[in-house]
Structure 1
Amino acid sequence: MSSAQGSGAMGVFGGTFDPVHYGHLRTALELLEYAELAQMRFMPAGVPPHRATPHADARTRVALVQAAIEGESRFCVDDRELRRDGPSWTVDTLRELRSEHGARPICLVVGMDAFIGLTSWHRWEEILDLAHLLVAHRPGWQAPADGVLGQLLRERRVDTGAALHASRAGRIGICAVTQLEISSSAIRELVRAGREPRYLVPDPVCRLLAASGCYKAAAERH
């Protein structure tokens, strides 16, 4: 794991990052600034329970994220889910982080689409005991007004990112982020077709994709 600033509120940004792209990076930066985070941890999923198996292997995906965030001291990679056997349950990751960081505020980054599906998550009720939720709001999605999630928002939503620093967990912040229509699947298809993904990913990622041949090899396996 790369090191970054070791105190202050921490963000946790999970995903397959297959591959990481500018949409991920811009969202991470905007949320970091909104919540005044000291650090944003990119957490590549090992065995995502609700998604297909990643196309690139774990080592390559970590290397891609490391290449993407080089030069931004507030970003780091945490590969614990890749080193853990079994499904990459978010609640297990948060329990580990909480045991390591005591009362440090932890903000779990989720998209509004993921937040809307929160009640389907494994042991979802425990998540807000362990972390805040930092919701990336994009056009086309609306925060729930009714039901369990509507009630949760009425009870726990904060008006500013700075308010997430007042406690270690349990609050919900929502931040509108820039919508960049970039998808990892489209990048994989470009690479497989021998086309250039430049300007969709940082140049170091572009070079690593070309050198590794990971998506062409993955296409052959699949």
Structure 2
Amino acid sequence: MKIGLLGGTFDPIHLGHIKPALEVLHQLNLDKIWLMPNHIPPHKQSTTVNSQHRLAMTQAVCELYDEFALCDIEINRDTPSYSVATLALLKQQYPQHQFYFIMGTDSFIQLPTWYRWQSLFDLCHIVVCQRPGWQLTAEHPMASVLADNQLVSTSALTGKIYPIEVQPQDISSTQIRQLLSNLTVEERQDSNNAQLNALLPGVIQQYICQHSLYQAN
């Protein structure tokens, strides 16, 4: 099977994660997208809510969309979520699958700062989705990496880079947390709240309300 992998803190998971992932699945004809919440992300200081809540919200999205499945390999790990270690373990556990690691242009530009980043090309394909405000210039060192790996045969099991044009989603978890902290309980519970509906699936809004997440202190 051709499996897309989308990792993140998902704090909370939102439509800016979901919609591009669905576009990638359809454009590359993938069989499934595995959503992979991080436990200890190496590039972030901390998360706002704990792993159990982030895992539960991700599971709720997987139940909402047949295209998604939950991958809990990172969130159950007590060490930082280095992508190369995760991919190596997934390849060991699922040798029958081809993995397509999904990231935004912002992450791809910063890839040389990742632990053993070059080994990723031996373990998976890389899918690069455009992100608002980020552009890879011809002078950037990763431009040559992109050009070289785009030439890899489509029949190769790993190592190809797929730049994907997706509908821009200028949504961030930081923006959503700030919005939620400024809303009253009644505004959070309003299923017709247009602001929230443009950012979060209803099941995530309900979960956040049920557990009183992201409220101002």
TM bin, normalised by shorter chain, reads 0.7 to 0.9
Q: Is contact 1:104-1:168 (8 Å) kept?
A: no
Partner SS for 1:31 = helix
When normalised by structure 2's length, the TM-score is 0.88
Which residue matches 2:192?
A: none
Partner SS for 1:215 = coil
Deviations 1:84-124 (A, max 9, x none): 11111111110111101215211100101110111111011
Which residue matches 1:84?
A: 77
Which of 175, 184, 187 does residue 164 from structure 2 map onto? 175
1:188 paired to 2:177: yes
- Unpaired runs of at least 5, structure 2: 189-195
Residue type matched to 2:199 in 1?
Answer: L
- Distance, in Å, in 2 between the alignment partners of 1:192 and 1:147 is 38
- Distance, in Å, in 2 between the alignment partners of 1:80 and 1:55 is 20
Bigger Cα displacement from structure 2, 66-75 vs 116-125: 66-75
C-alpha change, 1:158 and 1:38, in structure 2 (3 Å) is: farther
Question: How is 1:46-65 mapped onto 2 (pairs within 5 angstroms)?
Answer: 46-65=39-58
- Distance, in Å, in 2 between the alignment partners of 1:186 and 1:147 is 29
- Distance, in Å, in 2 between the alignment partners of 1:103 and 1:172 is 20
* 1:148 positional shift: 4.3
Q: Is contact 2:14-2:173 (8 Å) kept?
A: yes
C-alpha change, 1:27 and 1:158, in structure 2 (3 Å) is: farther
Which residue matches 1:39?
A: 32
Which of 117, 125, 129 does residue 136 from structure 1 map onto? 129
1:209 paired to 2:208: yes
Moved over 6 A (4+): none
Which residue matches 1:3?
A: none
* Identical counterparts, % of pairs: 33
Residue type matched to 1:209 in 2?
Answer: I
Which residue matches 1:116?
A: 109
- Unpaired runs of at least 5, structure 1: 1-7
Length, aligned pairs only: 207
When normalised by structure 1's length, the TM-score is 0.86
1:101 paired to 2:94: yes
* 1:81 positional shift: 0.8
